[in-house]
Amino acid sequence: SQQGEEDPQALSIQEGENATMNCSYKTSINNLQWYRQNSGRGLVHLILIRSNEREKHSGRLRVTLDTSKKSSSLLITASRAADTASYFCASINTGANSKLTFGKGITLSVRP
Amino acid sequence: NAGVTQTPKFQVLKTGQSMTLQCAQDMNHEYMSWYRQDPGMGLRLIHYSVGAGITDQGEVPNGYNVSRSTTEDFPLRLLSAAPSQTSVYFCASTLDLAHLPLFGPGTRLTVT
């Protein structure tokens, strides 16, 4: 089964609004990553947050990590039509067989 | 650096045919992995390798073989293609799991 589960599965907002996407995971992690994928294109990494970090910012992106709840959120502020894409969280589990595993993704549509 | 390269970009196979998807990186990355991406399923890990001579199974290994005879190359073999293997395949590499992986451009495979 997949490690990460994003919520909601699809999100539609108006340009200028904030978009919040959530991700839950199952096992202890070393770090959690968020990726973006435009339709028909490859993956672009957005941000990585380590297990000892609680919040990280990068431009209009804000990521939080709550290891007690095994969850993370990605906030995109002042969204733009160009933010329309699929967003994935991925985590690296602790332990001997560390792997990077992905959630199913969230489809974000930003209406101009 | 060429980054992570994948060949071919597109491939159509008939059921039962075999083929090898190539993945190469020139960054001396130890960790390499193969994912498949299907609509609504996100990316699922097929096989991964933590260094030359070492491979391990991911979530969906059945029907695929890998080998890692050199640090640079991590080919993915389909022994007897099935329509269920129609997908987009991504290869990724990273120095180690504390760093963000780089993804290749993907191979779009159709099995008829």
- Cβ B43–A48 below 8 Å, yes or no? no
> According to the model, what pLDDT value does residue B41 have?
75
| Percent of chain B whose pLDDT exceeds 70 | 98
Residue B106 backbone zone (phi > 0: left; psi -120 to 50: alpha; other: beta)? left
Place of tokens 């290869």: B91
Which residue in chain A is spatially nearest to B59 when comparing CA positions? A1
Write out pLDDT tens, residues B33-87: 999 999 877 889 999 998 999 998 988 999 999 999 999 999 999 999 999 999 9
> According to the model, what pLDDT value does residue B66 have?
97
Q: Give yes or no for residue A104 having a pLDDT over 90.
A: no
- Among candidates A4, A45, A101 on the partner chain, residue whose Cβ is nearest the Cβ of B100: A45
Please give the Cα distance from B88 to B10 (Å, whole number): 9
Substitution target from A48, A102, A107 for chain B, most B beta carbons within 10 A: A102
Q: Give yes or no for residue A3 having a pLDDT over 70.
A: no
Q: Best-predicted range by mean pLDDT among A4-8, B65-69, B101-105?
A: B65-69
* Other Cβ atoms closer than 10 A to B106: 20
Please give the Cα distance from B9 to A50 (Å, whole number): 33
Q: Give yes or no for residue B100 having a pLDDT over 90.
A: no
Instruction: State which amino acid sits at residue A41.
Output: R
Please give the Cα distance from B82 to A20 (Å, whole number): 39
Q: Residues A43-57: what's their mean pLDDT? A: 91
Q: Which strand (E) or helix (H) includes residue A65? A: strand A61-66
Mean pLDDT (chain B) is: 93
| Closest CA relative to residue B107, chosen from B70, B66, B75 | B75
